[in-house]
Structure 1
Amino acid sequence: MAKARIIIHLPGSVILGAEPLKQFYRSLREGLIARGARVEFAIHDRATLPGEVEADEDFHIVDHGNLRHPRVLNTGIAYVYPFWHLDPWGIRAGSSIEAKEFDPQAIDAEAAAEFMEKLRRRQVQKRASRYPQPEERVAFPEGCIAVFLQSEAHRQVEETCHLDRATMVEALLARDDSRPIVVKIHPRDTSAGTRDWLGALAARDGRVIVTEANIHDILASAAVTVTINSAVGIESMIHEVPVVLCGRADFHHAAITVERAEDLDAAIMAAERGEWDFPRYLYWYFRLNCVGSGSGTLIDDVLARISATGFDTGRFGLSS
């Protein structure tokens, strides 16, 4: 029987050379080939992918995929570098982590604390985020409510919303709470409409502060974070700031989720009263449910994920 292939489906722009190949995929290909695997790249076409998978008996790894199939794992950045999803359901809001149970008592506290410190050095001290952030430091009122907007135009945001961003912000303004509300525009949202809308809100309500500042400056002063399901929810946890989500997220286990605007007030109070073990949670989420692209065990971790689907990795004809 011929060796099974590992087919990695990537954007056409990458396959055709218009965009660079991410280091994760380069490491994956080189590491698997070094073990004796047959690895091929293919263009990820959502329309044709199911048929391509059914037409062979190989294993498929799909960039930004959401295909559930016994011979498929979906992959993409898991909110913060260097962690990646390698998941049978999808990535981020669509990942299978959403359905798993988190038991903090099953996580070693010392290992979690060490991991948290590494995250803080990598993200907070370096003022780094998934999208480029301004270098200029900005001070915000201590104890403010931090709101991080997303654009419903971006794939998966609209389909995972419980509250859209306008409803979310209006529900915040309706609360009897005098604290400043710091609203950060999403870095990829360049629309004048968003800025006009927020400018009108700030003119109407003196609590509203609209900003495009570095998220770490905002989180350093925040008492609570409110967002739909942005990666900033994870970064808020790194700052140990409680999180209220207004959409589906696979990191909901360490946050309060709101499905109705009228529940937002109670959710904020619950989040601030909660006893959140963020170090253990982030260790569980990233170290136990994702793969690290810079890890010395990356190839073993990937093969273990493939094996967990029920696929016989012996079919790859690996040398070691």
Structure 2
Amino acid sequence: MPAKVVLHLPQRFRDRLDRRRGPLLYEEILSVITRFGGEVVLAPQLKRADYKMVSAEDLHIVENGRIQRPAVLNAATAYLDGFFHVDPRGIQAESSIGMRLYKPKRIDPGVAADYFDLLRARFVTPRLSRYRQARDHAQLPEGCIAVFLQGPAPQRLMQAACGYDEMLIGVCAGAGGRPVVAKPHPLDPESGQAAISAARAAGYEVIATEANIHDVLEACALTVSVNSAASIEGLLHEKPGVLFGWSDFHHFFPTASRPGEFAALAERVLAAPPDAAKALYWYFSQCLDAKSPDFAPRLLAIFAKAGFDAVRLGLNPPPGQ
């Protein structure tokens, strides 16, 4: 009997798929597999206690998974809307990309520049980001340091080098006279405001903003986050960054292990910023782009590498034949 593709999703995702209304990645997986005669099963999200009970007879795809087991792939948005991780190691900060070598000299600068222009047209020109952004244009201090405060996940997953209040105070202390702008996460403004209040209580002038992320990135000289998508988006504006935690795009930015390291790292990356076009081309060429014409063959190549090729999945005719 052919293996099935089992999608382990939250109930709200399954409800949307039943109506063929997304989410985009799983809608595309469902379309690709069923188009060639395979079977897709919608299943509840896996709990940690269920990991060892997963059958290796079928291919399991787990939304926001952190499971490293045979026959399991972990899936989530890869920072920019429409790009996805489908990865045996993990998602976002824990994806396999973090373990790979980045060799910018091997990347064709013309190819990277063309890709960069396409990404800017897709995200910067329409001022789009993963989360809803202010529509009005905002004026922010030119050359500021932009600190992007995240939700609880980096702390909970032990990906952060320190707390957000310590990070923000460390940035203010090492800002070298540059204004510091802090943007709380749209889904967790309370913790961001708490960090801003702590920095102000320590005597630092922090400019809090809810401006559209592209206005912030256009104005700033440098981004700071634990491991936020905002730092990747900063590359769309050719802005370097400093990280304060574990990420899978550490190849492009220095990472601080404690707040006191910020000043030296900021000076270093401002003096020698990464090639934004090459960085973005290298990173996102290793993700799945649901809007790309090569989505289906790339998805099936990932499945085959996990041990589930077209024959094992009962796809007829196998794609490409």
The verdict on a shared fold, with TM-score over 0.5 as the criterion, is yes
2:247 to 249, 259, 277: 249
Compare 20-29 and 111-120 and name the one that shifted more. 20-29
Distance 1:28 1:78 in 2: 16
Q: What TM-score does the superposition give when structure 1 sets the normalisation length?
A: 0.92
Query: Is contact 2:154–2:160 with CA below 8 Å preserved after alignment?
Result: no
Query: Is contact 1:178–1:207 with CA below 8 Å preserved after alignment?
Result: no
C-alpha distance 181-52 of structure 1, shift in aligned 2 (>3 A):
same
Distance 2:82 2:151 in 1: 24
1:236 is matched with which residue? 234
Aligned residues: 315
Q: Secondary structure at the match of 1:151?
A: coil
Q: Secondary structure at the match of 1:223?
A: strand
Query: Is contact 2:9–2:63 with CA below 8 Å preserved after alignment?
Result: yes
Query: Is the aligned partner of 1:58 residue 2:55?
Result: no
- Matched residue type, 1:185: P
Q: CA deviation at 1:37?
A: 1.2
Q: Secondary structure at the match of 1:224?
A: strand
Q: CA deviation at 1:291?
A: 0.6
Distance 2:218 2:52 in 1: 48
Query: Is the aligned partner of 1:266 residue 2:264?
Result: yes
Q: Secondary structure at the match of 1:285?
A: helix
C-alpha distance 137-200 of structure 1, shift in aligned 2 (>3 A):
same
1:219 is matched with which residue? 217
Compare 172-181 and 84-93 and name the one that shifted more. 172-181
Query: Is contact 1:202–1:210 with CA below 8 Å preserved after alignment?
Result: no
Trace 1:1-320 onto structure 2 (pairs within 5 A): 2-16=1-15, 21-53=22-54, 55-152=55-152, 154=153, 158-175=157-174, 177-191=176-190, 194-195=192-193, 198-199=196-197, 201-202=199-200, 205=203, 207-287=205-285, 289-318=286-315, 319-320=317-318
Deviations 1:83-124 (A, max 9, x none): 100111111011111111011122222121111111111211
Structure 2 spans left out of the alignment, 5+ residues: none
- Matched residue type, 1:211: T
Distance 1:134 1:263 in 2: 33
Q: CA deviation at 1:220?
A: 0.7
Q: CA deviation at 1:202?
A: 4.3
Q: Secondary structure at the match of 1:42?
A: strand
Distance 1:136 1:232 in 2: 19
Q: What TM-score does the superposition give when structure 2 sets the normalisation length?
A: 0.91
Structure 1 moving runs of 4+ over 6 Å: none
Question: Sequence identity, in percent?
Answer: 36
C-alpha distance 42-158 of structure 1, shift in aligned 2 (>3 A):
closer
